[in-house]
Chains A and B, each alone.
Chain A
Amino acid sequence: MIKSLDPRVNRAAIEEENSIEPLKDLDQWETYEVFHQKRRGDQHMHVGIVHAPNAEMALIFGKEQFGRRGLSVNIWVVKTRDVFTTDYEDSDIFETVPEKQYREAGGYKVMDKINKFKKGL
């Protein structure tokens, strides 16, 4: 059990060992997720997947599969098995009860002021 100065953590009785099983070794090269950046400062966007024996090789493959048309300034690769994911059967966690105007930008009174200002122009 994980020991903590925080009694709530101790009450939770968390196993030392992470219960998430890493994937078993594959009989072929593993996959890397490739992200590219169009311009310095932009967010990196996921563009695809390559097979590679290590990160360096994943970079040289990622560059040529997804960056050979000159649309990138930078590439990231991340082992697919290092990506944690939600289950599709849990997709309903993204659903939300719509009656929460206080959480929507539209719920703010400021919109009235903006509309009023626009009309005044």
Chain B
Amino acid sequence: MNTEAIKELLYKMADDLLIIGHRNSEWTGLGPILEEDISFSSMAQDKIGQAQALYVLLHDLGEQEPDTVAFTRNANQFHNAQLVELPNGEYDFSLMRHFLYDHADQLRFEALANSTYEPLAKVARKVKGELKYHVFHANTWVTKLGLANQESHDKMQHALNHAWNYALGLFEPSANEAALIDESIFIGENTLQEQWLQNITPVLLKAGLTIPNPSTWNPIVGGRIGIHTAHLEPLVEEMSEVFRYDPTAEW
């Protein structure tokens, strides 16, 4: 088993989850209505929990403690896609990102539920229900706002256009991916992207939203190897502020 390749996979997944979990939690107390505020915050907590489960697997493979990994790295040591670090903007963008990301995440975990790397397969089976709700939540909002009125439709279309190339960056191929595919640990980013397109297309169609023309597709990559936008560093600083006061504190 190629441990380096597995670590690479675990890091990008865990970092995606940690960063989007933190971003989504920034809506807590500011959500559009109380019920949605609670739902979105609750899902953000789910994501942090999923990230933690993956950091534990990394720890089992010899990496440092989950908290140390989460809170003491610099921005350029994170492997998340740039999509998840972008500022929340308005709720349309946060919802659209949630939709694009969570569909990919659900498919990724679905594929990993059959992985030959059993510890990861076990985590994947455990989070199935959470992901199903997250996608149900995203689909419901996107469909509702896509069809509600001209203003909400335009905002969602604009959010989709803005997020699209960043979302394609979720499927940035990783250096050791071939080893994972060979050993049936993971299906690979290309296959994942195909499945993702198959799943999101009918929902967007139903919502009256248009996927940007393929001639304009230009995946924004680099996140997996530590290349990030200027938005990640302040996020990481804020996220780890309390931890850094006293890294040895017992919580």
Contact = CB atoms under 8 A, between A and B. Distances in A.
Interface of A: 29, 50-54, 56-57, 60-61, 63-65, 68
Given A29-B33, A51-B33, A64 B144 contact: no
Given A29-B33, A51-B33, A60 B140 contact: yes
B91 interface: no
A68 B46 CA distance: 10
Contacts of B42: 64, 68
Given A53-B144, A54-B144, A57-B140, A64 B38 contact: yes
B217 interface: no
Interface string B22-44: 00000000000111101100110
B35 A61 contact: yes
Interface of B: 33-36, 38-39, 42-43, 133, 136-137, 140-141, 144, 148
A29 B136 CA distance: 20
Contacts of A54: 144
A46 to B, nearest CB: 17
Nearest to B36: A61
A116 to B, nearest CB: 54
Q: Which 7 A-B residue pairings sit nearest by Cβ, starting from the closest?
A: A64-B39, A61-B35, A50-B35, A60-B137, A68-B42, A64-B42, A60-B140
Contacts of B36: 61
